[in-house]
Chain A
Amino acid sequence: MKKNLVLSLMVVLSLLVPVFAVSADGAETLVVGFDQNFPPYGYVGEDGEFTGYDLELAAEVAKRLELEVVYQPIDWDAKDMELDSGTIDLIWNGFTMQGREEKYTWTEPYKEAGQIVLVAVESGIKDFAGLEGKNVSVQADSAGLAALEDEANAELTASFGSLTVVPDYNQAFMDLEAGAVDAIVMDIDVAYFQIEGKEDKYMILEEFVQKEDYGVGFKLGNEELRDKVQEALDEMAEDGFIQDLSNEYFGYDSCTLTACVEAAKSK
């Protein structure tokens, strides 16, 4: 009876081994560290597998470098320890470069993110100066509101005629359509998503209220791998992979790599 118990326990345990036997050995894999709670950059997809804009880019980079991609969700607070000790090769996760420039070795920023101003085309507002005395709307408890309340934007915020805080962006768009407000401060990705197909009615001002650049972060000094990844990214920019993927995820070409800009010029 006791023997049977021990035996069956061992059988169960041996069945479990493949569950945690990660097939990674440094040289042939690209271990991507990411926060799995960060859609649309890295998250659990419909089919239960990890997916996201950044993860798909990483997978393509790995493919071009002939490495096996390993998605390693990490505890975000332990990311530096993970990177330093080599348990992950890089962090690719809508990873903001601002304020971290000196802490990691970075690729070029591949995407911009942050808070922008969306206006109705017919309002004639072309830049921040045009917002003077206008009615601006922003969602309650949002990053947009936080950006406007930031000291760096004190002057801009003070120039508004009024700042209306609405419970959700849906309402802000209804206000904008009805002419109750002239501009909305919101996240760039959400903005592009909202104006898709209505580009003749709405436009996004070029200036950012608050801008972030996303890059791929490596352990400080790991230029070797960084250069390889950068090269693969440039290649992906030249053949349009990044642009297509961005269109799929965000509804616009968000690529900010030099190679992307040049590819766009030559078109």
Chain B
Amino acid sequence: MPLSVILAKLSQGMATSFAIFSLTLVLSLPLGLVVALIRLRPNRPIQAVTRGYISIMRGTPLMLQLLVVYFSPYYLFGIRLTPDYRFWAVIIAFVLNYAAYFAEIYRGGIESIPVGQHEAAEILGYTKSQAFTRIILPQVVKNILPSVTNEIITLIKDTSIAFAIAVTEMFTIAKAIASAEKTMVSYAIAGLFYYVFNFIVAITMERVEKRLNYYR
């Protein structure tokens, strides 16, 4: 197989990997914040629900969650699955999983802000939501960026798990080419793709961090 074909095939896989990556990120970051806010509510039963959710998502393998999200509509409710659902099942499972991790990161960030700031904001006449969006959240975002970068980088590598439910992302294609061509070249290129992508992510995040570092 000529190198150009290998590259073209891997790029196709990369497009799928990137689609999983970007959709997961765009959806799980806000969802994680919502979960974190609910988790911080004094209401006990609601707290217990979010706690249970986070505990399950972190306590079971992502691959298992993929299988459950994809196959359970059929096995539990007898709904016939359509081929398009493969991809969306990946997105649902990834978003649910990553939102749980992000929620804990947000929670750590929110709890690290001194209580005094809430009190000061209240005295200055801010409502609770105003205080949160204008004073607390900007600081939280700044503080949690390094941890979020970690998760983002893990996410792009995790996309290779999607083949558990037969979504052919880049690594699956690399494996198929390797077995058909008896060559390790496709693995090397796949590795390079991941690395370059994560390198760009790391640099971008570093820039964002610097930009947000407005107090220095």
Q: What total of chain A residues lie within 8 Å of the partner, measured CB to CB?
A: 34
In angstroms, Cα B176 to Cα A74, docked, is 11
Those of B63-99 within 8 Å (CB) of chain A: 67, 71, 74-75, 80-84, 86-87
Q: State whether the Cβ of B50 lies closer than 8 Å to any Cβ in chain A.
A: no
In the complex, the chain B residue whose C-beta lies closest to that of A47 is: B5
In angstroms, Cα B168 to Cα A70, docked, is 14
In the complex, the chain B residue whose C-beta lies closest to that of A10 is: B26
Interface SS of chain B: helix
A16-B18, A19-B19, A78-B166 known; A73 vs B172 contact (CB < 8 Å): yes
Contact assessment for A87 and B81 in the assembled complex, using a CB-CB cutoff below 8 Å:
yes
In angstroms, Cα B83 to Cα A38, docked, is 23
Q: Please, which residues of chain B bring their CB within 8 A of the CB of A25? A: 82
In angstroms, Cα B180 to Cα A43, docked, is 6
Contact assessment for B180 and A44 in the assembled complex, using a CB-CB cutoff below 8 Å:
yes
Mask, A82-96, CB within 8 Å of B = 1, is 101111000000000
Q: How many A-B residue pairs have CB under 8 A?
A: 97
Contact assessment for B75 and A75 in the assembled complex, using a CB-CB cutoff below 8 Å:
no
Contact assessment for A48 and B8 in the assembled complex, using a CB-CB cutoff below 8 Å:
yes
Q: State whether the Cβ of B164 lies closer than 8 Å to any Cβ in chain A.
A: yes
Contact assessment for A39 and B179 in the assembled complex, using a CB-CB cutoff below 8 Å:
yes
Which of B9-17, B103-111, B123-131, B150-158 is near enough to bind chain A? Answer: B9-17
Q: Quick one: which of B8, B87, B167 has the most chain A CB within 10 A? A: B87
Give the distance to chain A from B172, nearest Cβ to Cβ, in Å.
7
In angstroms, Cα B172 to Cα A25, docked, is 24
In angstroms, Cα B80 to Cα A26, docked, is 10
In the complex, the chain B residue whose C-beta lies closest to that of A23 is: B83
Mask, B163-184, CB within 8 Å of A = 1, is 1111110001101110111000
In angstroms, Cα B9 to Cα A82, docked, is 25
In the complex, the chain B residue whose C-beta lies closest to that of A87 is: B81
A19-B12, A20-B16 known; A37 vs B176 contact (CB < 8 Å): yes
Of A13, A31, A37, which is within 8 A of B19 by CB? A13
Contact assessment for A86 and B81 in the assembled complex, using a CB-CB cutoff below 8 Å:
yes
Which A positions have Cβ atoms within 8 angstroms of B?
Answer: 9, 12-13, 16, 19-22, 24-26, 31, 36-39, 43-48, 70, 72-75, 78, 81-82, 84-87
Which B positions have Cβ atoms within 8 angstroms of A?
Answer: 1, 5-6, 8-9, 12, 15-16, 18-19, 22-23, 26, 67, 71, 74-75, 80-84, 86-87, 163-168, 172-173, 175-177, 179-181
* A–B Cβ pairs within 8 angstroms, 25 of them: A9-B22, A9-B26, A12-B22, A16-B15, A16-B18, A19-B15, A19-B19, A21-B84, A24-B82, A25-B82, A36-B179, A37-B180, A43-B176, A43-B180, A44-B173, A44-B176, A47-B5, A48-B1, A48-B9, A75-B163, A75-B164, A78-B165, A84-B75, A86-B74, A87-B81
